[in-house]
Structure 1
């Protein structure tokens, strides 16, 4: 008989459930605020925020997909919606025509500036308000190595695409 997988101890299980619940509650509140303030999904906000933080206002599609942890096809769809709304433009990269870059527009920057204050207010109020400054520093110190560990595997964009088998 094969060994059964090791269980999580009660403290690990509790921490896991707390993390998932906190993440879900925060994500729900953030998504609600973004919809109300700018008719944006969370992923669309992440794309605009990453582009807005970029020195050039542009990034490669694969880098964006890896950064926001989203599928290539899903990101293409979201970028298409943002492009139709005039918030980004997509174009072949000047360095490599096989690569698509996404660039935030002035309208995208304006919408980002409009939704950002409410976003910060939700995050501060829900996540950081019940914590002391020392608690926030401890939380950041705990989450950074976990994130780094999770990101230590090659990004999904480096994985080969699965092809549909023909019948």
Structure 2
């Protein structure tokens, strides 16, 4: 296996990214809690369902999309369902999997928390950047995200290895 060394420039970029991400996430979580009594994961689930043409997604696809464990997402979805924000039912194409669907109440809650959410993101992340900077940031982060998503998560690789050959 090749050795990977991080040079001082890369280390500085890494620490800045982690710090920015942590500060932004904290502020977003606080706003979502105050405006809608939502966790960040619950908000991501509602947003993804709300943006889907059908208002639905399979739970496994949601877990992959929000980068969350399946058991953790099941718990969060249970909380959303108890609050009447989503419904869950067996998938029409595969009854072993579950489909989550946003309700009208879920859509209404998203509409209520979204303006404050966008205010936090805009004020914290984009205020010090020009529109060109924002484009550059997207251009830099998109291939990194795609690279990370193309690699199976550690949990998946260890599970495969344990199960077999």
TM-score with structure 2 setting the length: 0.91
Query: Secondary structure, in 3 states, of the residue corresponding to 1:89?
Result: strand
User: How far 1:4 moved relative to its partner?
Assistant: 10
Q: Which structure's residues are more often helix, by fraction? A: 2
Q: Which residue of 2 aligns with 1:144?
A: 142
Distance 1:136 1:61 in 2: 32
User: How far 1:154 moved relative to its partner?
Assistant: 3.6
Q: Which residue of 2 aligns with 1:42?
A: 40
User: How far 1:150 moved relative to its partner?
Assistant: 0.3
Distance 2:111 2:122 in 1: 17
Q: Which runs of 5+ in 2 are unaligned?
A: 161-165
Counterparts of 1:71-150 in structure 2 under 5 Å?
Answer: 71-150=69-148
Q: Which residue of 2 aligns with 1:61?
A: 59
Contact 1:60 1:101 in 2 (8 A): yes
Query: Secondary structure, in 3 states, of the residue corresponding to 2:150?
Result: coil
Residue deviations 1:22-57 (CA, integer Å, cap 9, x gap): 000000000000000000000000000000000000
Contact 1:66 1:156 in 2 (8 A): no
User: How far 1:134 moved relative to its partner?
Assistant: 0.7
* 1:13 partnered with 2:18: no
Count of residues paired in the alignment: 160
Query: Secondary structure, in 3 states, of the residue corresponding to 1:151?
Result: helix
